[in-house]
């Protein structure tokens, strides 16, 4: 074992001990954040609480409500750890004493991620004071992961992240589809590229009792939504993951009136970026021609969203031994058609998204989703493994 490896091993033990000591305060912070959840773009109190807990209450805002907090020396490369500030517009149904009072809910585990990052950051600050960190930690408190415009995209565009010279950017996200104690650390694409679509259908309105005198946009839209599934089953390579989902339908204001227009909104998702342009073209063709067959005019607006999330191979592999040493079972195959704007960071260097199992149900985004407080420590351990993996690649060490 090299002297650098010994140094990293000693640092790992020191940081793990520090995280363990910080967990009670981190869990208390998790409860505060959860009870006072703030929606995307409004995370002022959340950011202030976490920044203060990290010893940087005066950290300047970035990308609206975000913060970048550097722990360690103020020059040279850093290793970034990201956690999300925002909650979802969901009415909580957990019944715990610290349930959200705001009408928004941390139903995706962001409160756990933030509390874990705080524990790691405070442990790192103590290590820096006692013996120094080989490479600083950059705590990325990111706004607007759940909404457009993307907080990650705006942080990257601001140039503030680049100024810290991150050699790697690591995130951990809870995942209900994985068992407790398992971390998915997968090389390559792990989350889909996603786009928002809006389908507009224009017809001819009229009396519900005289449909022959109208061109019903409701019927045309419903048929078009069903036909869209052919974009997956018959127009896409069956070995490539493609998902078309429609989540909203809007039409009419009275039961006995055929409306003149109808609208649907949904998402398109692909794991392979190369499939994106073809899917867009297929969706447009299906909508336009299906609606035409019903005497209506259909059009589609596609708003391009996050790129596919791709884990760096070297960083992923370097993290495996640290995850196993922390007691996790490592899954090297899990992928999903979920999306996360963490993918924007892949354009700036090595990135790694780790998925940590909660052993659900309930699922993410469910009003009853409430991971146990013990997950704060598990997320912190996974984040720390990512930091140590990145550190082993950077060659940084103490004298």
Q: What is the pLDDT of residue 349?
A: 78
Distance (Å, whole) CA 357 – CA 105: 20
First-to-last C-alpha distance (Å) of the chain: 16
Mean pLDDT per 10-residue interval, the chain, length 399 residues: 61 97 98 98 98 98 98 96 98 98 97 98 96 95 95 96 96 97 97 96 98 98 95 90 96 98 97 95 97 98 94 98 98 95 89 96 96 98 98 71
Q: What residue segments make up the domains of the chain, in order of their start?
A: 3-191+308-394, 194-304
Six token digits for residue 373: 């407080």
| Phi, psi values for residue 206, rounded to 5° | 175, -165
CATH fold of 3-191+308-394, please? Aminopeptidase (3.40.630)
The Cα 352–Cα 309 span in angstroms is: 9
283: exposed, middle or buried (C-beta count within 10 Å: 0-12, 13-18, 19+)?
A: buried
Q: What does the pLDDT read at residue 131?
A: 87
CA distances from 303 to 108, 125, 127, 151 (A): 23, 41, 45, 16
Q: Quick one: CATH architecture of 194-304? A: 2-Layer Sandwich (3.30)
**Equal fold, 3-191+308-394 vs 194-304:** no
Contact 136, 72 (CB under 8 A): yes
From residue 49, give the alpha-carbon distance in Å to each of 102, 108, 115, 141, 325.
16, 19, 10, 11, 32
pLDDT of residue 396: 65
Nearest residue to 356 via CA among 194, 170, 188: 170
Residue-wise pLDDT tens digits, 83-118? 999 999 999 999 999 999 999 999 999 999 999 999
């Amino acid at each position: 074992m090299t002297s650098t490896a010994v140094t990293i091993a000693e640092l790992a033990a020191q940081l793990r001990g520090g995280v363990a000591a910080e967990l009670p305060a981190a869990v208390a912070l998790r409860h505060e954040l959860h009870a006072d959840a703030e929606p995307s773009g409004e995370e002022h109190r959340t950011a202030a609480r976490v920044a203060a807990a990290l010893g940087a209450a005066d950290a300047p805002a970035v990308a609206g409500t975000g913060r970048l907090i550097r722990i360690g020396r103020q020059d040279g490369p850093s290793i970034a750890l990201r956690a999300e500030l925002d909650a979802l517009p969901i009415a909580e149904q957990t019944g715990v004493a610290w349930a959200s009072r705001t009408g928004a809910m941390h139903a995706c585990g962001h409160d756990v991620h933030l509390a874990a990052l705080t524990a790691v950051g405070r442990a790192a600050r103590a290590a820096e004071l006692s013996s120094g960190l080989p490479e600083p930690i950059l705590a990325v408190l990111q706004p607007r992961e759940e909404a457009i415009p993307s907080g990650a995209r705006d942080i990257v565009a601001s140039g503030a992240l680049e100024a810290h010279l991150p050699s790697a950017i690591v995130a951990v996200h809870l995942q209900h589809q994985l068992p407790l104690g398992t971390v998915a650390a997968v090389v390559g694409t792990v989350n889909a590229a996603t786009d928002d679509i809006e389908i507009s259908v224009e017809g001819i309105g009229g009396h519900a009792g005289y449909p022959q005198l109208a061109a019903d946009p409701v019927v045309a839209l419903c048929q078009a939504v069903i036909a869209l599934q052919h974009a997956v089953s018959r127009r896409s390579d069956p070995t490539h993951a493609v998902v078309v989902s429609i989540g909203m339908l809007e039409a009419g204001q009275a039961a006995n009136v055929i409306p003149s227009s109808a609208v649907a909104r949904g998402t398109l998702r692909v794991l392979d970026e190369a499939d994106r342009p073809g899917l867009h073209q297929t969706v447009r063709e299906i909508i336009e021609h299906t609606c035409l067959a019903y005497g209506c005019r259909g059009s589609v607006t596609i708003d391009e969203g996050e790129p596919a999330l791709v884990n760096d191979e070297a960083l992923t592999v370097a993290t495996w031994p640290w995850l196993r040493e922390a007691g996790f079972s490592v899954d090297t195959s899990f992928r999903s058609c979920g999306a996360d704007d963490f993918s924007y960071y892949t354009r700036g260097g090595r990135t790694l998204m780790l998925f940590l199992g909660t052993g659900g149900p309930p699922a993410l985004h469910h009003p009853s989703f409430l991971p146990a407080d013990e997950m704060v420590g598990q997320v912190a351990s996974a984040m720390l493994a990512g930091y140590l993996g990145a550190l082993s690649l950077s060659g940084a060490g103490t004298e």
